[in-house]
Amino acid sequence: MKIYWQISYFVIGLLIFSYGISLSINVQYLGIHPWDVLNIAMYEKLGFTIGTWNIVVGAVLITCTLILKGKHVRIGTILNGVLVGILVDFFLYFDLLPPQTNVITDVLLLVSAIILMGIGGGLYSAAHLGTGPRDGFMLTISDLTHLSISRVRIICECAVLLIGLLLGGPVFIFTFIYTFIQSPIFQKSFLFFTETLNSRFSKGNHVSM
């Protein structure tokens, strides 16, 4: 059944995506994604874990989306918000990551992390079980304001980055070029895995007839 493939895509995608986040956090001095800047800043200021703050921020965004009567909250949205935080803490706690060595190697690690996040995000999104909490919130704002999704994303991530920066989060050059690398990879990954899933399901239907 298609649902089993969707669940597989979703789980594997979250694993890849979460490992990418953890890998980037391990070389955070080079700069990381704005949302992770905020999570690390909250962790350094208030304690708990980075994954816990990922869950808290996700819960706040899901709540805001529901209050705004957004239609982009599904079971996958909630699972995403919880599982990514747990998986990030798991990878960091057990140190299942390559060690920092030198700037050149660390840049390669960070680029690899961005690629993994793009592929993982595209894979779990292709399952169509629900957007992530952040994407769901931004899509809702786009629906309400009639602004383009890209413009809303830029505004939201700039606001989050400013808050994270003011709280002392790690910001460097890669923070500002994340989107330019990750977004195209995400888009191609999403389209590829969506096509693969639909093709497999269509073939399955054709055979069964």
- Give the per-residue pLDDT at 140: 92
CA–CA gap between residue 51 and residue 206 (Å, rounded): 43
List phi, psi (to 5°) of 168.
95, 20
Rounded distance between C-alpha atoms, residue 134 and residue 18, angstroms = 15
What is the per-residue pLDDT across 121-165, written as a single tens digit (0 to 9) for each?
A: 999 999 999 989 998 999 899 999 998 888 888 899 889 999 999
Q: Which of 110, 155, 105, 121 is nearest to 17 (CA)?
A: 121
For residues 24 and 182, the answer to whether their CB atoms sit within 8 Å is: no
**pLDDT computed for residue 205 by the predictor:** 52
Length of the chain: 209
**Residues 161, 34: contact at Cβ < 8 Å?**
yes
CA distance 42 to 191: 34
First to last CA, the chain: 15
Which pLDDT tens digit goes with each residue over 64-96?
Answer: 999 998 888 999 999 999 999 999 999 999 999
Report pTM. 0.91
List the chain domain ranges.
Answer: 27-199
Apex CA 20: angle with CA 16 and CA 22, to 5°? 115
What mean pLDDT is predicted for residues 181-199?
Answer: 91
74 Cβ contact list (under 8 Å, min separation 6): 129, 130, 131
Q: pLDDT averaged over the chain?
A: 91
